[in-house]
């Protein structure tokens, strides 16, 4: 049986919840900025995949492993990006069954706009927190991520 939430019950207040909320807000700002820069096809799901494709491209199998999701889900995202002209899939010379995923010129342009959006968001964070607190936050996040 699922417990009904009391209207007066507060939401969780722990590091995982705060990190999740901060990530959601960052991602919403990021996607909105990239879309405003002229890439209406850009979405959170596509951003998650694009974030795993190095500038020089990657093997499709690597992307499946990096995302930790199903082959079908990654395939569907790649199909959409290819249909939008953002990426191309080419035969992998090292693996006859494999495919290489590479950015097109349109994809490279989106990456440049995404980089500008990231800098703009970080600058807004610096204004809100101050450079010293932002630097401390970045150091703390790097330390947490290095434990994995």
The closest of 77, 20, 67, 71 to 45, measured between CA atoms, is: 77
Q: What are the backbone angles phi and psi of residue 88, rounded to the nearest 5°? A: -130, 150
- Digit-coded pLDDT (tens) for 54-68: 999 999 999 999 998
Domain 19-146 has CATH 2.60.120.1440: no
For the chain, the average pLDDT equals 92
- pLDDT value of position 99: 92
Whether 3 has a pLDDT exceeding 80, the answer reads no
- Digit-coded pLDDT (tens) for 68-102: 899 999 999 999 999 999 999 999 888 888 899 99
The three-class DSSP label of residue 112 is helix
Whether 2 has a pLDDT exceeding 60, the answer reads no
How far is it, in rounded angstroms, from Cα 74 to Cα 76? 5
Average the pLDDT over 117-122 and give the result: 98
Residue 11: pLDDT band (50, 70, 90) is confident
Using an 8 Å Cβ cutoff, are 87 and 73 in contact? Answer: no
The counts of H helices and E strands in the chain are 6, 3
Residue 137: pLDDT band (50, 70, 90) is very high
Whether 146 has a pLDDT exceeding 60, the answer reads yes
Burial of 29 (C-beta count, 10 Å sphere; 0-12/13-18/19+): middle
- Residue 60 tokens read as 């499709």
């Amino acid at each position: 049986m699922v417990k009904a939430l009391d209207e007066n019950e507060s939401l969780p207040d722990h590091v995982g919840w705060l990190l999740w909320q901060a990530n959601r807000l960052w991602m919403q700002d990021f996607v909105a900025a990239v879309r405003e820069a002229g890439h209406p096809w850009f979405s959170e799901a596509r951003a998650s995949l694009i974030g795993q494709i190095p500038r020089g491209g990657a093997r499709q199998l690597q992307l499946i492993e990096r995302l930790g999701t199903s082959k079908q889900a990654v395939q569907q995202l790649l199909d959409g990006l290819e249909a939008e002209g953002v990426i191309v899939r080419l035969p992998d010379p090292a693996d006859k069954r494999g495919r290489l995923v590479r950015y097109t010129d349109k994809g490279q342009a989106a990456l440049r706009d995404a980089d500008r959006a990231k800098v703009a968001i970080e600058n807004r964070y610096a204004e809100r927190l101050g450079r010293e607190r932002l630097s401390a936050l970045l150091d703390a996040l790097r330390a947490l991520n290095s434990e994995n």
